[in-house]
Amino acid sequence: MLAEELDGADPPTCTVQVRPRIQQHDQTNRGAHVELFIDPNGRRGIATQIYVQLRDAIGDGRLVTGDRLIPSRMLAHELGVSRFTVTDAYARLRAEGLIEGQAGGGSVVCGTATRAVVPVATAALAPTARAARVQLFDPNPVLHGTFDMRPGRVDASLFPTGVWRRCMLWALSEPPDQYGDPAGTIGLRAALARWVAHSRGIAVDPAHIVVTSGAQHAIDLIARVLVEPGDTVAVEEPGYPPVVELFRLNGADVVGAPVDEEGIVVDAIPAAARLVVVTPSHQYPLGVTLSHRRRLELLRWANTHEAAIVEDDYDTEFRHSPRPLEPLQRLDESGRVVYVGTFSKSLAPSLRIGFAAVPRSIAPAIHALRQAIDWCPPATTQAALATFIDEGHLQRHLRRARQVYRQRHQQMWSQLTQKLAGRAHALPAHAGLHITLLLADELADDELRAATRANGVLVDSLRRNYHFDAPTSGLVVGFGALPTDQVPTAVDALAAALASTD
């Protein structure tokens, strides 16, 4: 019988399509499928194999109430078996009350079939010790609260949806049919070169730009190309936790260099450091700007010690003072600075677009590594962004966003200094989308989290940005995602949260 039903030695498979039953007022468009695997040499008959696999799919919730099974004639054709074999399997499911027949509607899964618990396979694998030490920086990025005051959030209402949609539709007029350049399309790289020349005074050849999935991806590429396991890497202390985790994961010996009112203390950087990561325009999380004097000191240090500098310019587009300082890359005469930019703050984090402008000596290695990891960035998004930049939409969007964020920054600063006087000290910030508070009382992170969330406030602790020194009790207060008219109420809620810890 098997020889008559199955032709060939390889076990066939079939995806059983499930057609959702559309009920009145049901606006969902549910779809599902299960894969059936038929073994012609198995001990069980083919009808039994079909029955068991569909029974298990219903039992563990892969098929749910109302899902329609593929008609028996079609399933028999796709599996290469007789229709009688399929109808036999369906009849057994129907006899057990797992499916029911509907006039003109085929077979439908019944509600009495599903189990609440899905069986979990035994997990024999374990991460390496190095990987196991990596901690999630944001364990719940989609968490919602009444007042979202977390740093790194942006105002979604400012996103130019209509213009971006037109750019995407234009990009889709020529669907990509091949893998692309691992460094990014030449159109976007040229647009980025023009953009940083205009906005930051940086002269860079498009051939030395690589398009990435955000700033963190760019830093990862740089780490893999410039740092060997065991090399020393210096970061700002306090600093952005994912950067520390990333370098540690690459096997580097990560050390911290303190930050004062002028930025990173160059004299405190270990001589053994092969690479230094800095956020000079708006230090994360303290918010200070690296002074011009320190910038020159850092460049001299790098030349003396033959080290590299990663300049993370993550939110420089939003300055609240009229005098920006020159980027390190512009001051660099030796080709030691790698400039990293991102559109996560200027447009939207979910776009996952960033870039690195790298010295020509390492550009080929960066490009090759980019291809080895995931071959190339998404071509359609790149084409849309290139058009968005070249047609002036980015500049117009930033002019509008700067006005909104500047007003919001002023409002937040005023409210924090007035309503939290005596409880917290706000550190000056002349750029970016957050303000850091130093708390007068030492409070544990668990206590802070419980108090703020009880008052509807989502905010980050300053403590978790320390990796080497004794942490300072404080809060990193973002205002990017908070509507300006809600700032006073949000600060009231924050003040109430801190008062509840007395």
The verdict on residue 134 lying in a domain is no
- Listed in sequence order, the residues at least 6 apart from 217 whose beta carbon sits closer than 8 Å to its beta carbon are 354
Radius of gyration of the chain (CA): 29
Look at residue 34 and tell me whether its pLDDT is greater than 90. Answer: no
Look at residue 14 and tell me whether its pLDDT is greater than 70. Answer: no
Q: What are φ and ψ of residue 326, in 5° steps?
A: -65, 140
418 shares a domain with 350: no
Is the preceding peptide bond at 238 cis, omega within 30 degrees of 0? yes
Share of the chain above pLDDT 90, in %: 80
| Domain with 333 in it | 175-390
pLDDT (tens digit, 9 = 90+) per residue, 111-147?
665 555 555 667 899 999 999 999 888 888 888 899 9
H-run or E-run covering 257: strand 253-260
325 shares a domain with 212: yes
Q: What is the mean pLDDT of the chain?
A: 90
* Spatial contact of 32 and 4, defined as CB atoms under 8 Å apart: no
The verdict on residue 136 lying in a domain is no
454 or 66, which is more confident: 454
Q: What's the pLDDT score for residue 135?
A: 85
Domain boundary among 390, 417, 450: 390
222 shares a domain with 359: yes
Bridge partner residues of 306 (DSSP): none
434 shares a domain with 343: no
Q: What's the pLDDT score for residue 432?
A: 95
52 shares a domain with 184: no
Query: E-assigned strands of 279-389?
Result: 308-312, 337-342, 354-357
Secondary structure of residue 157 in the 3-state scheme: helix
Q: For residue 356, which of 189, 139, 132 has the smallest C-alpha distance? A: 189
Domain boundary among 390, 405, 434: 390
The verdict on residue 413 lying in a domain is yes
Q: In what order do the strands lie in the sheet with 460-461?
A: 424-426, 434-439, 474-478, 460-461
What is the distance between the alpha carbons of residues 327 and 316, in angstroms, rounded to a whole number? 10
The verdict on residue 337 lying in a domain is yes
How many independent structural domains does the chain possess?
A: 3
What is the distance between the alpha carbons of residues 57 and 346, in angstroms, rounded to a whole number? 45
- Listed in sequence order, the residues at least 6 apart from 412 whose beta carbon sits closer than 8 Å to its beta carbon are 435, 477, 479, 482, 487, 491
pLDDT (tens digit, 9 = 90+) per residue, 137-183?
888 888 889 999 999 999 999 999 999 999 999 999 988 778 999 99
What is the distance between the alpha carbons of residues 487 and 417, in angstroms, rounded to a whole number? 13
pLDDT (tens digit, 9 = 90+) per residue, 265-291?
999 999 999 999 999 999 999 999 999
What is the distance between the alpha carbons of residues 288 and 238, in angstroms, rounded to a whole number? 12
Largest CA distance in the chain: 86
The verdict on residue 164 lying in a domain is no
